[in-house]
Chain A
């Protein structure tokens, strides 16, 4: 793909960013909003990480040492909610804001004012959620899945704040998704045809469709909870003709597409980085697009695999087991394509590539444990054990989070105009890689041995493995402070980066200067 870009007229130079705090409050610039999203997500990553450290510290030894079980439950709940809705999702929206307009040759997002609103809702939503920690009765303690009746009949009073926080996050996500869809559908540069779109754009388009399809389901579920708690309805209350099992069906009808919302953009990131450092075109571009779409479609018909032990008809178990295993096919296509892209490539191992390769390997491990969990009769043993914890942390930490870290190292030169320190970056990678595996790999074994999840205390035979797991967690947590240092060090004191710091990189974002000017592609580029 060859492109020509217009350098903007000097008349427009005075349209630079405003000065001071108002720049960030009033901004409608996609790069500013992307930056806000990314820093917000980084802050939430540390807050959720702090909660994880409290959890692992308590689990360092059997018995209750540091915190009470009630507070432990609040920690697991808040850790999950903050990481899912506060760290992973906003990070991807931030990346979408920064990269999608530059990748498709658009001057900005389609709906810049709504973009501003969808970001600025988030700090309020999370302030509200976090404030529950200081309320009478404590924060939500029913797990991030907030199953009724734990979250209705037995919930602390702060559950109402939780419900409104979820409503706000949902509104923010829906607005972000509509923006992404409008941008990709309407603002592609002339000649940027569907099959020329970078995969990150494709995966985000599909993710955005998933978001507008399932965030309303989540909103509906929490609204029904609100009605049950305050207005005497009985959606999830058997005494009034409702059903707590209905809650689980509705929640997972949202929840399963949600886990793909958290991984599809990661697929796009890795599909951008691996070809760059393999110096080859991505193998099987169109199959990647079709695989992503099939994963998204399948995600709507597998939700009950989270509920095998709840009681569903035998035929239902068979169906959901088979449908779940079917997802391994498009996922396998993707892993195959990444590996084949690397095969006989001129590989170099800069930090983004290290994170991407680790993504491919460790995400596959998470995929395999997912297959084990998909087997309905086996799931009866694994359900609600640490095996499940190990599984979803393998797909979310070295999956989603590693891809976000890879993208930060990959595009930071474009964002800041400065190069990160490669030694520090690699140190961060290796510490994270060791930390994540030491933390989560042993959890497979305690899980298979029967240790239940979401408990502050455990039988003594699990003591050694839990101690190892906690030490890994402390290592992983501490190494993220190094990540923060690397990012700040780059912005403040990094070496100047050229427009295209990676020789194998392709795409419109590398055609503009580093750091990317405040306004890019005000005249659309020509794409042949």
Chain B
């Protein structure tokens, strides 16, 4: 290097840029990475979990293509309700609007609130399985000893890949009593 006497360089500038990076990364985690994760989940449908309410479409029903749809119910951790599908399995034809229901009973001594989270398998079918009505769109309060029939109306898109013959839909029921109400439809 030719210069003999270097001018003193500003530490403040380096510190400011560094702290800016730190704050930028913090914001990036919250506003960048977190929404990106949910976007990718939605694009790929990999979680098999969709809370989107769809409108029933006027599809032509494919009578020659029976799809077996299985309904499962799971209780998360300490959730004490009785929870099961009324019919554990139905045959649905692509394009057809089908109505089924789940049954839940709060057998405990206290009033509780439940939230069901869907998961669909194989996940490739997630985008072709539209729910026009679903109890998973809202939280479900049940008083002590109360029971309820929980409705689900769905329609399978005829574009469903040919290799899908069976769809399994699992609802996991969470106890959200006393937790902040969070809208899942955002």
Could you list which residues of chain A lie within 8 angstroms of chain B, going by C-beta atoms?
110-111, 153, 174, 177-178, 181-182, 185-186, 190-191, 193, 212-217, 219-221, 232-235, 237-241, 243, 245-246, 249-250, 253, 311-313
Whether B29 and A186, one on each chain, are in contact in the complex, defined by CB atoms closer than 8 angstroms, is no
C-alpha gap A214/B175 in the complex (Å)? 34
| Closest residue on chain B to residue A220 by CB atoms | B29
B76: chain A residues within 8 A (beta carbon): 238-239
C-alpha gap A213/B29 in the complex (Å)? 11
| Closest residue on chain B to residue A189 by CB atoms | B6
Q: Does B163 contact A (CB under 8 A)?
A: no
C-alpha gap A408/B5 in the complex (Å)? 35
| Closest residue on chain A to residue B5 by CB atoms | A190
CB distance from A192 to the nearest CB of B (A): 8
7 further interface pairs, Cβ-Cβ under 8 Å (given A214-B25, A238-B174): A178-B18, A190-B6, A216-B23, A220-B26, A234-B180, A239-B176, A246-B34
C-alpha gap A262/B179 in the complex (Å)? 40
B30: chain A residues within 8 A (beta carbon): 220
Report the contact-size class of chain B (Cβ under 8 Å from the partner): 35 or more
Whether A249 and B37, one on each chain, are in contact in the complex, defined by CB atoms closer than 8 angstroms, is yes
A253: chain B residues within 8 A (beta carbon): 33
Stretch from B7-15, B97-105, B148-156 contacting the other chain: B7-15
Whether B1 and A191, one on each chain, are in contact in the complex, defined by CB atoms closer than 8 angstroms, is yes
Whether B14 and A243, one on each chain, are in contact in the complex, defined by CB atoms closer than 8 angstroms, is no
Whether B25 and A216, one on each chain, are in contact in the complex, defined by CB atoms closer than 8 angstroms, is yes
C-alpha gap A174/B24 in the complex (Å)? 13
Q: Does B41 contact A (CB under 8 A)?
A: yes
Whether B21 and A212, one on each chain, are in contact in the complex, defined by CB atoms closer than 8 angstroms, is yes
Name the one of B14, B38, B180 contacting A182, with C-beta atoms under 8 angstroms. Answer: B14
Of all A-B residue pairs in the complex, the 6 with the closest CB atoms, nearest first, are: A239-B174, A220-B29, A216-B25, A186-B9, A182-B14, A178-B18
With A182-B15, A217-B29, A311-B46 as contacts: A239 and B21 at CB distance below 8 Å: no
B3: chain A residues within 8 A (beta carbon): 190
Whether B9 and A185, one on each chain, are in contact in the complex, defined by CB atoms closer than 8 angstroms, is yes
C-alpha gap A239/B184 in the complex (Å)? 9
Whether B4 and A190, one on each chain, are in contact in the complex, defined by CB atoms closer than 8 angstroms, is yes
Name the one of A219, A235, A238, A313 contacting B46, with C-beta atoms under 8 angstroms. Answer: A313
Whether A240 and B176, one on each chain, are in contact in the complex, defined by CB atoms closer than 8 angstroms, is yes
| Closest residue on chain B to residue A154 by CB atoms | B77
| Closest residue on chain B to residue A237 by CB atoms | B174
C-alpha gap A516/B71 in the complex (Å)? 74
| Closest residue on chain A to residue B41 by CB atoms | A243
Whether B22 and A185, one on each chain, are in contact in the complex, defined by CB atoms closer than 8 angstroms, is no
A239: chain B residues within 8 A (beta carbon): 76, 115, 117, 174-176, 179
| Closest residue on chain A to residue B22 by CB atoms | A216
B8: chain A residues within 8 A (beta carbon): 186
Whether A241 and B37, one on each chain, are in contact in the complex, defined by CB atoms closer than 8 angstroms, is no
B23: chain A residues within 8 A (beta carbon): 216
For chain B residues 74-111, which have a beta carbon within 8 Å of chain A?
76-77
A-B contact pairs, 15 of them (CB 8 A): A111-B11, A177-B18, A178-B18, A181-B18, A182-B15, A185-B9, A190-B1, A190-B6, A213-B21, A214-B25, A216-B22, A217-B26, A220-B26, A243-B38, A250-B29
Whether B29 and A313, one on each chain, are in contact in the complex, defined by CB atoms closer than 8 angstroms, is no
Q: How many A-B residue pairs have CB under 8 A?
A: 104
Whether A178 and B15, one on each chain, are in contact in the complex, defined by CB atoms closer than 8 angstroms, is yes
CB distance from B172 to the nearest CB of A (A): 7
A234: chain B residues within 8 A (beta carbon): 179-180, 182
C-alpha gap A177/B17 in the complex (Å)? 12
CB distance from A216 to the nearest CB of B (A): 4
With A190-B1, A243-B41 as contacts: A233 and B180 at CB distance below 8 Å: yes
Name the one of B9, B25, B44 contacting A217, with C-beta atoms under 8 angstroms. Answer: B25
CB distance from B49 to the nearest CB of A (A): 8
Whether A221 and B14, one on each chain, are in contact in the complex, defined by CB atoms closer than 8 angstroms, is no
Whether B46 and A212, one on each chain, are in contact in the complex, defined by CB atoms closer than 8 angstroms, is no
With A212-B22, A220-B30, A250-B34 as contacts: A178 and B115 at CB distance below 8 Å: no
With A214-B25, A220-B30, A249-B33 as contacts: A238 and B18 at CB distance below 8 Å: no
C-alpha gap A241/B42 in the complex (Å)? 13
Whether A186 and B26, one on each chain, are in contact in the complex, defined by CB atoms closer than 8 angstroms, is no
Name the one of B14, B33, B174 contacting A250, with C-beta atoms under 8 angstroms. Answer: B33
B46: chain A residues within 8 A (beta carbon): 311-313
Highest count of chain B CB atoms <10 Å: which of A212, A240, A249, A250: A240
Whether A215 and B117, one on each chain, are in contact in the complex, defined by CB atoms closer than 8 angstroms, is no
Name the one of B10, B172, B175, B184 contacting A186, with C-beta atoms under 8 angstroms. Answer: B10
